[in-house]
Amino acid sequence: MSPFGGWGMLEAFLAMLCCRGSDEKVFEGPEHLMVGSGEVQVINCTASCTDPKKLVLETHLNKTLLDSQAQWKLFRVYNISKDEQLLCSFTCAGKQETKVFNITVFYPPKQVLLTLSHTSVAIGTLFTIECMVPAVAPLEGLSVTLLRGTEILYNQTFVGTARFPQDAVVTHNTTAHREDSLHNFSCEAQMDLRSRGGGLVHRVSDPQRLEVKEPEPSNQMVIMATVIVLLLLFVTFVLLYWYKQRRRSNT
């Protein structure tokens, strides 16, 4: 069931609590619902009168009746893969009425993939952290956070209302420090659709480790060190030669 399916189960629970043996209007929930692609949703179809006729939920999708009373029926609707309109129709006092449930399909984060450009770097070296959240929609409400241990390195909140799924990618360049090897790097993705009748989905990547090494000497430093050694050898050779010549002259 969708991470937001808990809303539907709440509808079912409240409907069963407040409606058995009661003439009061039941809890109906929002008329705009956010549902994960391919998931199911519980729909509470409630009439505006206490004794409706022909209370039905009209949809081409597969559905099952979970429970019912005189004024309401509770349905589970299956395999919602695109935006839909579900019609709850009923007749009160000879007048047919319709309640519309607008369902918007979203694609929640299912995977969070973290990649380090290097697994081993020298202190002071620039490296890149990349986090990809595949096939999500809408991007609006999606926030991606890069972490070193519990420290936030970078955070990006996306915008865009496109309905089709797309990859969300975040990259961040940073410099390697000695303490980086003491912590895991990770990426968190959070999709917050509560303002649109949905819920909150949270996913975390597998942790990644970075080996940090002492910086290697540069080529220029190696050349300078080689020149110094050669000069020392030359001076030593000259001094030895001078010393031997002096001894010979003294004898």
User: Which amino acid is residue 125, in one-letter code?
Assistant: T
Among residues 163, 177, 159, 171, which one has the least CA distance to residue 129? 171
Whether 76 shows a pLDDT value over 70: the answer reads yes
User: Which amino acid is residue 157, in one-letter code?
Assistant: T
Phi, psi of 6 (to 5 degrees): -60, -30
Q: What is the Cα–Cα distance from 20 to 187, expressed in whole angstroms?
A: 47
Among residues 31, 24, 104, 131, which one has the least CA distance to residue 69? 24
Which tokens belong to 222? Answer: 């190696």
Q: What mean pLDDT do residues 41-47 have?
A: 91
Q: What mean pLDDT do residues 65-71 have?
A: 92
Q: What is the Cα–Cα distance from 110 to 189, expressed in whole angstroms?
A: 9
Provide the 8-state DSSP code for 137.
B
With 0.95 as the threshold, say if the pTM is over it: no
Greater model confidence, 127 or 38:
127
Provide the 8-state DSSP code for 220.
H
DSSP letter string, 102-117: EEEEEB-----EEEES
What are the distances in angstroms from CA 198 to CA 2, 29, 112, 219?
A: 10, 12, 21, 58
Among residues 33, 41, 43, 164, which one has the least CA distance to residue 103? 33
Position 217 scores a pLDDT of: 65
pLDDT tens for 167-194 read: 999 999 999 999 999 999 999 999 998 8
User: Which amino acid is residue 198, in one-letter code?
Assistant: G
Beta strand pairing status for 84-92 and 211-213?
A: unpaired
Q: What is the Cα–Cα distance from 194 to 235, expressed in whole angstroms?
A: 79
Whether 223 shows a pLDDT value over 80: the answer reads no
Position 236 scores a pLDDT of: 85
> Tokens 């360049």, residue?
173
Which tokens belong to 173? Answer: 């360049």
